[in-house]
Every structure is written in C-alpha cells, then in structure tokens.
Amino acid sequence: MAKPQLYHEESIPSPWHQIWRHFKARPSAVIGLWGLGLMVALSLFGAYLAPYSAQQQFSDQLLAPPSWHSDGSVLFFLGTDALGRDLLSRLLHGAHITFGFAGLIVVLALGVGLVIGTLSGTSQGLRSSVLGHLLDALLSLPSLVLALLFAAVLGPGLQNVFWAVGLALLPGFVRVVHNAIHEEMQKQYVMAARLDGASPWQLLRFAIWPNITDVVVLHTTLSFSTAILDIAALGFLSLGAHAPSPEWGAMVREGVNNVLSAPWTVTMPGLAILFGVLATNLVGDGLRHAIAEERG
C-alpha cells in the first residue's frame, strides 16, 4: 500500500540507493548478481549437494562422457575423469577452494589495504611517499612469480596461494584507497568539516570513508575476479592446490593428459571458472556504470 503523502516532502535517496537503482536497470548486471549469488551458495553448500564425495572412484566408469552424450549416464551428470571420479561432485566440492578462498583472500587484502591506504592517503610529503611506494616492489612481482618464490620457501600447497595472491592484490588496494582519499582530501566539504572542528578520526569516519566506498567496492569486485583466475592458474601449474584436490585449476591440469579422448575433463572445470569470473565481472561492470551514472 502506498504511503499517503501528507506533506510535500522531497525524499532524497541516499547515494547507495541511487547506485542500486541504476544497477537494477541493467539486465546484465542483475544476471551477474544472480550468478554471483549462486556461486556463493555453491561454495557454501556445494559439498552437501554433491551426489558423491570428491575422491570416490568408480572403477567401472572411467572417463564416462557427460549425460547428454549417447554413451553417458545420468548418474554421472558431467561425466567422470580418468580415475572414475564424478566431475559434478568434484566441481561442487572444489567451489569453496577456488571461489571461497578467493573471497577470503580479497576480504583480508581489502582490510589491510584500507588501513595502509588510509594512513598513506591522509599523511603528506615524505611519509605518504614512503607508505605509498613501500609496496611498489611487490607490485612489480606478479602473483605467479610470488607463488614460485613462496612454493620454494614453504613447499607447494594452498598456503602459497594465500600469500602469493594476497600479497599480489594488496598493492592495488593500497593504491586505490590512497588515490581516492588523496582526491577527497582536496575537496571543500572536507575542509568545511575540518573547520567545524572534526577530529581526524571523525573526518575519516563521517566525511571521507562514505565517499570513497563506491570506488573501493568496485576495486574489490575486480580483485575478486583476478583472485579466482590466479588461484586457478596456480592450481593448473601445480604451485597451489595439488593433484587430488578438487580445485578447478588443478582439475584442468589433471584432465590435460586425457584431453584427446575425454575433452570434458578439461572443458567442464574451465567452464565453471569462466562462469564464476564472468558473473563477478558482470557485477563489477554494472557497478562501474551505476557509479558513473550516479556521479553524473
């Protein structure tokens, strides 16, 4: 029921509300959001939905084709791999490694990047320069090269992925936060708040942070898709998740040996990665447009 309007009050939608309105108007963005939601749900509950465990082997069903193939069976919906493991179950079990792990890394990198970026963005001169450029050496190391180093020091495993991808993403966050804060600090409303006697913390909390959130959220979605691709690439090069692990990149690696006789062992995990990254990119793209429209 519509609210009766008693007074001629003009309700001004909040910036977030406006961004959401623009976001909603793009079908591709909404599709992306649904896809992203689906992926999040699968990485949380995928293990419970999977018909079999990730390592269960059916020795009479080696390299069974997907169910729509004339030789396929619906019991193994996406077919099986060279060890007779059900691909669908493995994909569902692997969702939380490729997808969930990416989310965890991005959130942590966001937190640390926000702190360092704020410190360097609000300080000036030499201190800002040092803090801002401290991570440049890391920025020059791509995640793959970092992972090579970590794998040499720590031995292969998922902890490499964590450090390598996290450290590779961190400088980007620091830079984005630093630049955004630097830009906001020049504006008049910050000066007005300062003249009103706001302490540095209040200035940050009530004036600057709310106005850089959109940029930071946008960068987070972009980093998220980078993180998924990186984790899968590391799994593929066996620098990260290892062979029996149902990580999607590692699954592609395992499938390569049978790629001629059973192409689905390579295409299915690849399509899963593609779907996850595409959904994230659609959301990111929608956000970018919405922010651009909202800012005019």
Partner 1 sequence: MLIYLLRRLNLLVLTALVLLGLLYIASLKMPGDTLTNLSGVTHPSQEQVARLTERYHLDGNGLQGYLAFVRQRLTGDFGLSQASGRPVLNELLQVIPATLELTILALLLALLVGIPLGVLAAGRRGPLPNLLWGGTLLGFSVPTFWLGLLLMLTFGLSLDALPASGRINLLYDVPFVTGFMLVDILLSDAPWRWAALWDAINHLVLPTLVLAALPCFIVIRTIRAAMLAEMDKNYIRALMARGVPRYRLVLSHALPNSLAPMLRLLSLQLGQIASGVIIVEMIFTWPGIGSWLLAAQYQGDHTALTGGVLVVALSIIVLTILLEIAQALLNPVIRKEIHG
Give the binding site for partner 1 (CB under 8 A). 28, 124-125, 128-129, 132-134, 136-137, 139-145, 148-149, 151-153, 155, 168, 225, 229-230, 232-233, 236-237, 239, 249, 252, 256, 259-260, 263, 266-267, 270, 273-274, 277-278, 280-282, 285
Whole-number minimum distance, CB 30 to partner 1, in Å? 15
Report how far residue 165's alpha carbon sits from residue 173's, in angstroms, rounded to the nearest whole number.
13
If the CB atoms of residues 65 and 270 are measured against partner 1, the closer one turns out to be: 270
Whole-number minimum distance, CB 70 to partner 1, in Å? 20
If the CB atoms of residues 212 and 268 are measured against partner 1, the closer one turns out to be: 268
If the CB atoms of residues 52 and 247 are measured against partner 1, the closer one turns out to be: 247
Q: What is the Cα Rg of the chain in Å?
A: 23
Whole-number minimum distance, CB 285 to partner 1, in Å? 6
Whole-number minimum distance, CB 198 to partner 1, in Å? 24
If the CB atoms of residues 56 and 123 are measured against partner 1, the closer one turns out to be: 123
Whole-number minimum distance, CB 270 to partner 1, in Å? 4
Whole-number minimum distance, CB 229 to partner 1, in Å? 5
If the CB atoms of residues 181 and 273 are measured against partner 1, the closer one turns out to be: 273
Measured over the CA atoms of residue 147, residue 92, residue 222 and residue 125, the dihedral's sign is: negative
If the CB atoms of residues 52 and 233 are measured against partner 1, the closer one turns out to be: 233
What six digits make up the tokens of 134? 């401290």
If the CB atoms of residues 17 and 127 are measured against partner 1, the closer one turns out to be: 127
**Residue indicated by tokens 């959001």:** 33
Whole-number minimum distance, CB 69 to partner 1, in Å? 17
